[in-house]
């Protein structure tokens, strides 16, 4: 059975547009229809990239909604809650962010963040607007001018609050901040978290997936909630959180996105005459690019996270090890990483349904083919890797990722993640950023 041959580009495009329509709540797009009925920060950026292919003004609205939830510190929260408060746990009340001094009035959000892919999305919106001209261009240019300071404040917050020592790596305080929730990257740091008493809870994610063994287990979830409680206890004050929280890790993939996005925002700043700020952003880009490169393990060729509390690097073989391909930089390092990515431990692993990188290498003991971030393929990540390959003048890698992604997505299910050997869609279907990735790959 090969679904690819039976689906035309028009059918794929129509189905992807329909998924975004289904998730459209008016001024925000839910990450998935039932499982995730709210806006997630980095999902919103990918969704905006997809929307920009169909409606530049709607893509602008998506990012504007997200930016409206920006905290007074500059942080962009990882979830902006919609009015639909059923079906997702932990909701706004459980987060306890109502007491946070930096939460804007009238906004319901979580109190942590996710990787800053937003400037890359803004770049796409501006480019589509300029291609289309007319009202689309006007909307995109207006939004660029209006929102630049907001994105700049976001990057400044990350560069100071989350890299206080200036090492060029972003510190995260929860696995959820990485976006790679239960990745084996975090097994070590979570093993050292000893949760205190956590208020009773009923999970909802397990109600929406066919097989609960795909999801984090309850012991993992208790630790996730414990960290939230630690932050809530200090009202999400940045300095206090760093003092009390039991999870402090320098996330190499988050840092790579920070580098790439800062460079993109610098270019956008130049285009609107913000030269001084563009210079500041270029320094950030260089600092985080160097930080990412400094973590590469010569033995494996992969970049590594760093557990601050344990004082040790994390060498798990996950796709985040390809962070340098996202941050860019040293040509020799990037060439070696491209070879590794396309080699037998990753895209070239025998019998993959599609030659796409699994979230954990199938050659690793930590690999689980159906479990969330422990092995399945995540389509939005492939789009990011493809974007970086195109940026770096690597049409070969870009083309391979694109062609395999379009074949994968021709099942028209828009899975949250995919089993690497069977190509079965897992988690939620009709996942918004998966549909957006399909639209962007089609161009
Ligand atoms: C959760 C929405 C989010 C993504 C994360 C992914 C998952 C679940 O879904 O998180 O409950 O937050 O791990 O990267 O943003 O798609």
Residue 82 scores a pLDDT above 80: yes
Q: What is the pLDDT of residue 3?
A: 46
Query: With 0-12 CB in 10 A as exposed, 13-18 as middle and 19+ as buried, what is 194?
Result: exposed
Note if 416 is an active site residue: yes
Indicate the pTM of the whole model: 0.97
Q: Nearest 5 degrees, angle CA 303-CA 307-CA 313?
A: 40
Cβ atoms of 143 and 63 within 8 Å: the answer is yes
The closest of 323, 429, 295, 334 to 381, measured between CA atoms, is 323
How much of the chain exceeds pLDDT 90, in percent?
92
pLDDT averaged over the chain?
96
Residue 274 scores a pLDDT above 90: yes
Cβ atoms of 311 and 250 within 8 Å: the answer is no
Spacing, Cα 257 to ligand 1 middle (Å): 17
Residue 418 pairs with which residues in a beta bridge? 377, 425
Query: With 0-12 CB in 10 A as exposed, 13-18 as middle and 19+ as buried, what is 401?
Result: buried
How much of the chain exceeds pLDDT 70, in percent?
98
What is the per-residue pLDDT across 102-150, written as a single tens digit (0 to 9) for each?
999 999 999 999 999 999 999 999 999 999 999 999 999 999 999 999 9
Residues 62, 412: Cα–Cα separation, whole Å = 23
Among 18, 24, 141, 181, which one carries the catalytic annotation?
Answer: 181
Residue 2 scores a pLDDT above 70: no
Residues 261, 284: Cα–Cα separation, whole Å = 10
Q: What is the pLDDT of residue 6?
A: 75
What is the per-residue pLDDT across 278-322, written as a single tens digit (0 to 9) for each?
999 999 999 999 999 999 999 999 999 999 999 999 999 999 999
The closest of 95, 106, 113 to 238, measured between CA atoms, is 113
Spacing, Cα 138 to ligand 1 middle (Å): 33
Q: What is the pLDDT of residue 5?
A: 54
Torsion sign, CA atoms 290, 150, 391, 357 = positive
Q: What is the pLDDT of residue 55?
A: 98
Closest atom, ligand 1, to C-alpha of 42: 15
Q: Is beta strand 79-80 parallel, antiparallel or unpaired with respect to 425-426?
A: unpaired
Torsion sign, CA atoms 170, 41, 73, 271 = positive
Note if 419 is an active site residue: no
What is the per-residue pLDDT across 215-241, written as a single tens digit (0 to 9) for each?
888 898 999 999 999 999 999 999 999
Ligand 1, atom 4, lies closest to the CA of 179
Which positions ≥6 away from 106 have C-beta within 8 Å? none
Q: DSSP code of 374?
A: G
Angle between helix axes 9-23 and 395-409 (nearest 10 degrees) is: 70
Q: What is the pLDDT of residue 1?
A: 38
CA 25 and chain centroid, separation: 21
Residue 252 token pair: 């190499």
Q: Write out residues with Cβ below 6 Å of ligand 1.
A: 31, 36, 40, 42-43, 176, 179, 181
Give one word for 320, left, alpha or beta, with left for phi > 0 and alpha for psi -120 to 50.
Answer: alpha
Residue 147 token pair: 């929102």
ipTM above 0.95, yes or no: yes
């Amino acid at each position: 059975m090969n679904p690819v041959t039976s689906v035309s580009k028009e059918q794929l495009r129509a189905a992807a547009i329909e998924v975004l329509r289904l998730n459209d709540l008016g001024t925000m797009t839910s990450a998935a229809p039932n499982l995730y009925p709210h806006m997630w920060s980095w999902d919103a950026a990918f969704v905006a990239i997809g929307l920009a292919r169909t409606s530049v003004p709607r893509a602008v609205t998506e990012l504007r909604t997200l930016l409206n939830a920006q905290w007074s510190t500059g942080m962009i929260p990882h979830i902006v809650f919609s009015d639909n408060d059923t079906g997702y746990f932990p909701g706004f009340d459980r987060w306890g962010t109502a007491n946070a001094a930096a939460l804007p009035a009238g906004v319901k959000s979580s109190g942590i963040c996710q990787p800053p892919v937003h400037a890359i999305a803004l770049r796409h919106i501006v480019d589509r607007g300029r291609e289309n001209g007319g009202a689309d261009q006007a909307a995109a240019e207006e939004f660029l001018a209006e929102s630049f300071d907001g994105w700049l404040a976001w990057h400044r917050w990350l560069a100071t609050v989350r890299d206080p020592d200036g090492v060029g790596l972003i510190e995260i305080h929860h696995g959820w901040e990485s976006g790679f929730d239960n990745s084996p990257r975090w097994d070590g740091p979570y093993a050292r978290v000893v949760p205190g008493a956590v208020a009773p809870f009923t999970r909802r994610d397990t109600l929406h997936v066919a097989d609960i063994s795909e999801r984090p287990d309850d012991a993992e979830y208790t630790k996730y909630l414990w960290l939230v409680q630690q932050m809530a206890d200090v009202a999400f004050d940045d300095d206090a959180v760093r003092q009390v929280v039991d999870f402090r890790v320098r996330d190499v993939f988050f840092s790579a996105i920070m580098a790439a996005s800062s460079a993109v925002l610098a270019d956008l700043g130049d285009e609107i005459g913000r030269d001084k700020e563009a210079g500041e952003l270029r320094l950030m880009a260089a600092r985080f690019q160097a930080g990412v490169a400094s973590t590469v393990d010569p033995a494996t060729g992969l970049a590594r996270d760093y557990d601050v509390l344990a004082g040790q690097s994390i060498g798990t073989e996950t796709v985040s090890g390809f962070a340098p391909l996202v941050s860019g930089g040293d040509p020799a390092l990037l060439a070696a990483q491209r070879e590794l990515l396309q080699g037998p431990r990753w895209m070239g692993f025998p019998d993959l349904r599609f030659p796409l990188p699994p979230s954990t290498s199938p050659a690793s003991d930590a690999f689980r083919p159906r479990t969330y971030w422990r092995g399945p393929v995540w389509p939005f990540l492939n789009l990011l890797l493809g974007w970086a390959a195109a940026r770096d003048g690597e049409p070969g890698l870009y083309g391979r990722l694109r062609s395999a992604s379009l074949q994968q997505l021709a099942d028209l299910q828009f899975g949250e993640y995919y089993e690497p050997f069977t190509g079965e869609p897992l988690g939620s279907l009709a996942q918004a950023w998966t549909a957006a990735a399909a639209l962007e790959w089609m161009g």
